[in-house]
């Protein structure tokens, strides 16, 4: 079955540091890949996504590139801010050959803490 593995935290960085959160996946076909972010006490919201190999998703200074050869979708940001403190989830979704899809398969989440 499908699975997502991401580095577990907490990850603690200073403001303006460079961020990388690793994510690798296992899937039977050609999944779409997502990063969702959860701020304290809230539901998840989409940060970025990529639907095919070599696509780059980007939003709010975050980037991730869909690497089929290494089955990875690592999240990066050049200069983090205190407001980026949250839990980040890597996820995948796969469409069936006959059409249709079920839900997202999530990694366990990475708690990011940015110190001023």
Partner 1 sequence: NAGVTQTPKFRVLKTGQSMTLLCAQDMNHEYMYWYRQDPGMGLRLIHYSVGEGTTAKGEVPDGYNVSRLKKQNFLLGLESAAPSQTSVYFCASSYFGATDTQYFGPGTRLTVL
17 CB contacts (<8 Å, ≥6 apart)?
79, 80, 114
Neighbouring residues of 98: CB distance < 8 A, sequence distance ≥ 6: none
Nearer to partner 1, 13 or 27 (CB): 27
Instruction: Specify the 3-state DSSP secondary structure of 27.
Output: coil
**Residues whose CB falls within 8 Å of the CB of residue 42, separated by 6 or more in sequence, listed in order:** none
CB of 14 to partner 1, least distance (A): 26
Nearest distance from C-beta of residue 115 to partner 1, angstroms: 23
CB of 109 to partner 1, least distance (A): 5
Whichever of 22 and 106 has its CB closer to partner 1, that residue is: 106
Q: Which residues contribute to the site for partner 1 (CB under 8 A)? A: 4, 8, 31-32, 34, 36, 42-46, 49, 51, 89, 93-95, 100-109
């Amino acid at each position: 079955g499908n699975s997502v593995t991401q580095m577990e935290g907490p990850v603690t960085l200073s403001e303006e540091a460079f961020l990388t959160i690793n994510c690798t996946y296992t899937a039977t076909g050609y999944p779409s890949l997502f990063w969702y972010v959860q701020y304290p006490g809230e539901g998840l919201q989409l940060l970025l996504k990529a639907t095919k190999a070599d696509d780059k998703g980007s939003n709010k200074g975050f980037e991730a590139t869909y690497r089929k050869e290494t089955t990875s979708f690592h999240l990066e940001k050049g200069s983090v801010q205190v407001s980026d403190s949250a839990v980040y989830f890597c996820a995948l979704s796969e469409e069936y050959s006959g059409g249709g899809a079920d839900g997202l398969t999530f990694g366990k989440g990475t708690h990011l803490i940015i110190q001023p």
